[in-house]
Structure formats: structure tokens, C-alpha cells
Amino acid sequence: MADPQVTIWLEDRCQRPVHFHHALAFVLGEAWCRLAIEYQGRFVGITGLEDYDPCNGVARFFIVIGDRDASNRGLGTAVARALVSKGFRDLGLRKIVSNYFAPNVASKVIHARAGFSEEGVQRQVGWRRGEWVDHVLVSILREEWQGLAASPSLSGTLS
């Protein structure tokens, strides 16, 4: 998870040095649903739903895969699809939102393959690799997911 090719795309609050008590607060913090991602028997990332708004039935999806050996294998897409399904089917959400830095092609692909649609762009949100980059805002609604859920290619489970 310390790979600079991965950490460059984390939120600004994750770009600073972190002490153990900060990491512990994150792991035990306010995320509504947080899961480890395992590939070939080893921990390779984290995913979850956070910023839960029960009044509006909305939560924010996030995913970080920090092991390049686990990249480009469809793992991120499978995890995203499974967690989106869990959010709608098991947790009763109405909408799942997410965001990613525009140059992060892997994140763009994961979100698109999981059925997210672009809602907008926050311009020049983060400083990455010597330039200001945009944040892309995406979401998927329950009814959009229901249309996709019938597709065999969108199956997935979380255990």
C-alpha cells in the first residue's frame, strides 16, 4: 500500500505522514462498511461504503488496491460490483456516490464497469505530479443497478 503509483491518487488527507493512532482511527472510524481486499491469499487493498446518509439513502463508495500484482486482473471491477450490489440489495441504499482524480484511468474503468455514471467535475481539486487535477463525481442509482444486476457479467459476492 506504499506504492507511489497508487498513493498518488489517494485523497489529500492521505498524502501526509500518518502515525499509528491516525491509522487506527481511520480503520475504526466512521465508515459504515469497510472491507479488506484479498488476492491470492494476501491483503492487497481496502474498499467500503462511508459517509452514510440514512435520510436520503446515500453512501459513498471507495476502493484502493495497493498491490500492482493484483492490478489489471478485473479484481477492482469485481469488488466494486459486489459492494454496489450489497449496498442496494442488503443495505437498502437508494444511491451510491463516488469520486476519483481524472488522470486515474484504473479508477475510471472500475467505476464505469460497475455501472457508475458521471455527474460532474470539480475542477483543480488536488495537486498531483506537478499539476492541479480534477475530481470526477460519479454515482449509480438503485434503478440503474437493477437494470444491470440481471446481467451475468455483473455477478459478484462478498464474503
In the predicted model, is pLDDT for residue 5 greater than 80? Answer: no
Residue 128 lies in a domain: yes
**Lookup: cell for 36:** 479488506
Per DSSP, the three-state class of 7 is helix
Q: Report the greatest alpha carbon distance in the chain.
A: 44
Distance CA 93, CA 89 (A): 8
User: What are the pLDDT digits (tens) for 18-33?
Assistant: 555 555 555 555 556 8
Query: Considering the domain boundaries, does residue 159 fall inside one?
Result: no
Residue 20: which domain range? 4-153
Distance between CA 144 and CA 121 in Å, rounded?
21
Sheet containing strand 95-101, edge to edge, reads 33-39, 42-53, 58-65, 95-101, 131-141, 117-128
Predicted pLDDT at 153: 55
Per-residue pLDDT at 155: 47
Cα(88)–Cα(95) distance, rounded to whole angstroms? 8
Reduced to 3 states, what is the DSSP secondary structure of residue 31? coil
pLDDT band at 98 (very low <50, low <70, confident <90, very high): very high
What CATH code is carried by the domain that includes residue 82? 3.40.630.30
Report yes or no on 35 lying in a domain: yes
pLDDT over threshold 90, residue 17: no
In a domain? residue 134: yes
| Number of independent structural domains in the chain | 1
What's the rounded Cα separation, in Å, for the pair 66 and 61?
17
- pLDDT tens, 21-76? 555 555 555 556 889 999 999 999 999 999 898 899 999 999 999 888 888 889 99
- Provide the pLDDT for residue 67: 86
In a domain, 158, yes or no: no
